[in-house]
Amino acid sequence: MQHQTVLLREAVEALEIKPAGTYVDGTFGRGGHTRAILERLGPNGRLLALDRDPQAVELARAIQDRRLLVMHRRFADLVDALRQAGVAVEKGVDGVLLDIGVSSPQLDEGARGFSFRYDAPLDMRMDTTQGETAAQWLLRASVQEITEVIRNYGEERFAFQIAKKIVAARGERPLTTTGELAALVRAAVWTREPGQDAATRTFQALRIHINQELQQLALVLPETMTVLKQGGRLVVISFHSLEDRIVKRFMREQAAPDCLPRKLPLRANELPQPGLRLIGKPRRASAAEVTANPRARSAVMRVAEKLARAREAA
């Protein structure tokens, strides 16, 4: 399937691009959002595009535009990346866009090991230059560790049964391919929702764990409070309820005033101010977009604006 950027127009409009502004696309992917931002930037605008996937970075560097700087970095390294790019963090940026999760090319390229639809090496790393593969982790993890990952990140009710089968199978020989893992999971799952492959939840859970996706998201959100200037926009698109829960909680906490003891002798202008103002309601892909791109059906976009005198995120 050809990659289609989800909520492309809505996300770029939510950033409210200033022609001379400085922006961050924390997840280049295949560049849909990056190219749309560049179209709206003026000659003095700047855009920093980050991605942990070497293939995505290679594609990004093929874009010949002096306003664009591309880095092979995780978005959780946002502050360090901006400093490395020569951006004065204390002056702030005008917007940060995060499109969370796995991209269509990563799923559709069997060799990456993300999908049970292909029999390929059991890798699952977004950054193939470092870290442990799914096969390596499954070879050493305990039944309890595997169970917790599959249950917590895949919300799989047969997590324990799957974990036991994995550990039993590796006693004979290591699991090295997606096909072997998928077959094993299907044998352990007694029932499944109509139309869903029994391996779906397990593959999702292992991918999230191997790439530390939720931890990376939880790290970058407070960093956006450090780098956004007053009036700067934070736009986050998530595709999984666990991701959206983290984003929703962060934005709501930053948009709420601090709770102080009653009758505290403070003037109104001395009260702690919220860090963010929520912009509109969460947005979802239109019916037309979902028809054209079924993977858009789970996408949720949340938008917030940095306020003056905002407190730093905890």
Enumerate the known binding-site residues for S-adenosyl-L-methionine: 31-33, 51, 75, 99, 106
For residue 121, give the DSSP letter.
B
Question: CA 273, CA 278: separation in Å to the nearest integer?
Answer: 14
Question: CA 281, CA 49: separation in Å to the nearest integer?
Answer: 26
What's phi and psi for 95, nearest 5 deg? Answer: -175, 150
Distances (CA, A) of 298 to 193, 196, 284: 17, 15, 8
By three-state DSSP, how is residue 50 classified?
A: strand
Q: Which residues are annotated as a binding site?
A: 31-33, 51, 75, 99, 106
Question: CA 278, CA 275: separation in Å to the nearest integer?
Answer: 10
Question: Tokens for 294?
Answer: 């079924």
By three-state DSSP, how is residue 149 classified?
A: helix
DSSP 232-268: EEEEEEE-SHHHHHHHHHHHHHHHSPPP--TT----G
By three-state DSSP, how is residue 283 classified?
A: strand
Question: Tokens for 119?
Answer: 């029999």
Question: CA 84, CA 281: separation in Å to the nearest integer?
Answer: 35
Q: Which residues does 48 contact at the CB level (< 8 Å), separation at least 6?
A: 22, 23, 24, 25, 69, 71, 81, 82, 85, 87
